[in-house]
Amino acid sequence: MQKRCLAILEDGTLNKSVSFSKEEREKLGLRGLLPYSVETQDTQVQRVMDGIRRKGFDIERYILLSSLQERDERLFYKVAIDHIEEIMPLIYTPTVGQASKEFSHIFRSPKGFYITPDDKGDIETILENWPENDIRIIVITDGQRILGLGDLGANGMGIPIGKLALYTACAGIPPHQALPVMLDVGTNNEELLSDPLYLGYPHKRLEGQAYLELVEEFVQAVQKKYPRALIQFEDFLTPNAYGLLNTYRDRILSFNDDIQGTAAVALAGVYASSRITGRSFVDSKVMFLGAGSAATGIADLMVAAFVNEGLSLEEARKRLWFVDSEGLVVASRTDLRSHNLPYAHEAIQSNFIDAIDSVQPHILIGATGAPGTFTQEVIERMSVLNEHPVIFALSNPTSKAECTAEQAYTWSNGKAIFSSGSPFGNVNYNGKVFRPGQGNNAYIFPGLGLGAIIANASIIPDELFLVAAKTLAQLVTDENLQEGALYPRLTEIRRLSIEIAIAVAEKAYKMKIARDEKPSNLKKYIEEYIYHPNY
């Protein structure tokens, strides 16, 4: 039955508030319930933007937008799409980091699905409580490594909500086909456990076999109720991130965004940097600060890319060097994890600066969660070694960046080609304005996910991340590079995501991992599928 009267204004998927026409007001029983004026959606967008700009703090802007998402979903997405450069830092990194830290204090409505150890044996049943029947994208976290902020327990739900808002804003996934999931297995964060307002499962984390069984039960329940859904694993602590990736990557439509999405965005940036440095990709030597899931994911995809260009596995790995908190990752170390071993070269263990001097990398990629680790000395050494040192400070949120954009340009005398995980504004250095690009998986996952679900791929092999990286790199214009950016402007993100989706879907058909038939006009098919927030 069609909703009427207040019920329609209270349903965020139907509400368009003062944009209901006189006829609609008459028909839907809305006369008297709204002020006189009938406004266009654009005028409403303007009012929202005025409200956002009037707020004193970004967290207040986040709360305003979060309430709007509940109250009037189409207006929320219209605002996000039309003002993506201003809105993305509010609904995503860096503000989503603060919002996640404070999630239990600013909570208003659940916006997603919660699973705790108490639900063991019942996940299939409780999933029936979710009202939608055609979920295509799930972002799930257990909250143990939220950005570079550590274990935030159930407060980490801010991340799946934010990532899925980007799926819709950046790639047009219909919001009703997206499901944010919090696998709330507890937290080891004492501050949260002693917070009377903490909303999560108030126990130490479930671990080991019991944890894995809960994930498996969830995956099976999803396979049954939503067999077409892509599961994106997000912000798991590294051992679980790898464990779950290895369990599910060849079995179901899934990927780990921190390992694989990040890899594709970084690879795209590295490809684009060749057009400034003049050095071909295969001749590049890369040093990573941080040897966890993000950095290793990038290295693994780079190896695949090098091998595609004709290098042997051994030659490919030799171009990639890691430094972690114990120094250079070398073969003689006994403290390494299995994902580090392919990159533990025969060399003498040394500190970061000495490692830069001995390895002489062209590209430096930070994924540490440790702010300030790209010191003046680091940037200066890179600048002595390179005409244009390529510097990625990927850690999020902004407070965790290895260095700021301004530091990179200043310490390199304007020579650095800089990208960061969280956005920095333009920097004026000696009269030249630099626009740092945002090396964030947000350039990849929306388009990649869209392509995968359009083809209804059975799995997401490396080839799909490689094609996504190549496509993104090709979409970087000379103008972007002249501004100093290795990525296109965010204002282009919907177009970019569709291009990435087309390339990814094409590859899936070619690899025969698509479970749906290829439409006769793929681009048109995608364009018809995607969500537009206009009333």
Ligand X SMILES: NC(=O)C1=CN([C@@H]2O[C@H](COP(=O)(O)OP(=O)(O)OC[C@H]3O[C@@H](n4cnc5c(N)ncnc54)[C@H](OP(=O)(O)O)[C@@H]3O)[C@@H](O)[C@H]2O)C=CC1
Which amino acids are annotated as binding site, given as ranges? 145, 234-235, 258, 396, 440
Q: Could you tell me which of 199, 209, 189 has the C-alpha nearest to residue 120?
A: 209
**Closest approach of Mg ion to the CB of residue 366, in Å:** 15
What is the nearest approach in angstroms of ligand X to the Cβ of residue 443?
Answer: 8
Dist CA 185 CA 505 (whole Å): 35
Phi-psi sector, 388: left (phi>0), alpha (psi -120 to 50), beta: beta
Catalytic residue among 78, 101, 163, 507: 163
DSSP letter for 151, please: -
Considering the complex, state which of residue 82 and residue 235 has its C-beta at the smaller distance from ligand CC(=O)C(=O)O: 235
Tell me, residue by residue from 247 to 286, as one string, x for binding to ligand CC(=O)C(=O)O by CB under 6 A and - for no binding. ----------xx----------------------------
Which residues does 65 contact at the CB level (< 8 Å), separation at least 6? 52, 76, 79, 80, 87, 90, 91
Chosen from ligand X, Mg ion, ligand CC(=O)C(=O)O, none, partner binding at 402 (C-beta under 5 to 8 Å by type)? none
Q: Name the active-site residue from 16, 77, 78, 92.
A: 92
What's the min distance (Å) between Cβ of 420 and ligand CC(=O)C(=O)O?
11
* Closer to ligand CC(=O)C(=O)O by Cβ: residue 232 or 386: 232
In angstroms, rounded to a whole number, what is the distance separating the alpha carbons of residues 510 and 54? 51
DSSP states along 245-288:
HHHHTTTSSEEEIIIIIHHHHHHHHHHHHHHHH---GGG--EEE
Residues 6 or more apart whose Cβ sits within 8 Å of residue 98: 58, 59, 62, 397
| 226 belongs to the catalytic site | no
CB of 46 to ligand X, least distance (A): 32
**Residue where the block lists tokens 């997401």:** 460
> Taking the complex as a whole, how short is the minimal distance between the CB of residue 305 and Mg ion, in angstroms?
22
Judged by beta carbon, residue 119 or residue 324, the one nearer ligand X is 324
- Using DSSP bridges, classify how beta strands 363-366 and 327-328 pair: parallel, antiparallel or unpaired: unpaired
Residue number with the smallest Cβ distance to ligand CC(=O)C(=O)O: 396
Helix (H) or strand (E) holding 113: strand 113-115
Of residues 142 through 161, those in contact with ligand CC(=O)C(=O)O by CB under 6 A are: 147
**Comparing C-alpha atoms, which of 439, 347, 429 is closest to residue 396?**
439
Among 72, 119, 142, 235, binds ligand CC(=O)C(=O)O (CB under 6 A): 235
Q: Does 440 bind ligand CC(=O)C(=O)O (CB under 6 A)?
A: yes
Query: What is the Cα–Cα distance from 195 to 153, expressed in whole angstroms?
Result: 12
Q: Is 299 in the site for ligand CC(=O)C(=O)O (CB under 6 A)?
A: no
Nearest CB to ligand X, comparing residues 28 and 170: 170
Least CB distance to ligand X at residue 469 (A): 13
> Taking CB under 6 A as the rule, does residue 402 contact ligand CC(=O)C(=O)O?
no
Instruction: Pick between residue 44 and residue 396 the one whose CB is nearest to ligand X.
Output: 396
In the complex with ligand CC(=O)C(=O)O, the residue whose CB is nearer, 144 or 471, is 144
Whether residue 163 lies in the annotated active site: yes
Q: Return d(Cα 403, Cα 514) in angstroms, integer.
A: 42
H-helix or E-strand containing 424? none
Q: Which residue has the tokens 């967290």?
A: 59
Helix (H, G, I), strand (E, B) or coil at 233: strand
How far is the CA of 424 from the CAs of 89, 264, 436, 480, in angstroms? 10, 21, 7, 15
Q: Taking the complex as a whole, how short is the minimal distance between the CB of residue 401 and ligand X, in angstroms? A: 9
List 441, 456, 471, 497, residue binding ligand CC(=O)C(=O)O (CB under 6 A): 441
**Residues of the binding site for (S)-malate:** 145, 396, 440
For the CA atoms of 88, 93, 97, 103, the dihedral, rounded to the nearest 10 degrees, stands at 20
x/- binding map, residues 457-496, to Mg ion, per CB under 5 A? Answer: ----------------------------------------
Residue 457 per-residue DSSP state:
B
Q: What is the DSSP string of 22-83?
A: HHHHHHTT-TTSS-S----HHHHHHHHHHHHHH-SSHHHHHHHHHHHHHH-HHHHHHHHHHT
Burial category of 444 from C-beta neighbours within 10 Å (exposed 0-12, middle 13-18, buried 19 and up): buried
Contacts with ligand X by CB under 6 A lie at 145, 147-148, 238, 258, 262, 265, 289-295, 323-326, 367-370, 373, 394-396, 400, 421, 439-441
**Binding residues among 206-245 for Mg ion as defined by CB under 5 A:** 234-235
For the bound state, the minimum distance from the C-beta of residue 240 to ligand X, rounded and expressed in Å, comes to 11
Nearer to ligand X by Cβ, of 127 and 139: the residue is 139
Closer to ligand CC(=O)C(=O)O by CB, 340 or 398: give it.
398
* Binding residues vs Mg ion (CB under 5 A): 234-235, 258
- Would you name the residues annotated as active-site residues? 92, 163
* Binding residues vs ligand CC(=O)C(=O)O (CB under 6 A): 93, 147, 235, 257-258, 396, 421, 440-441
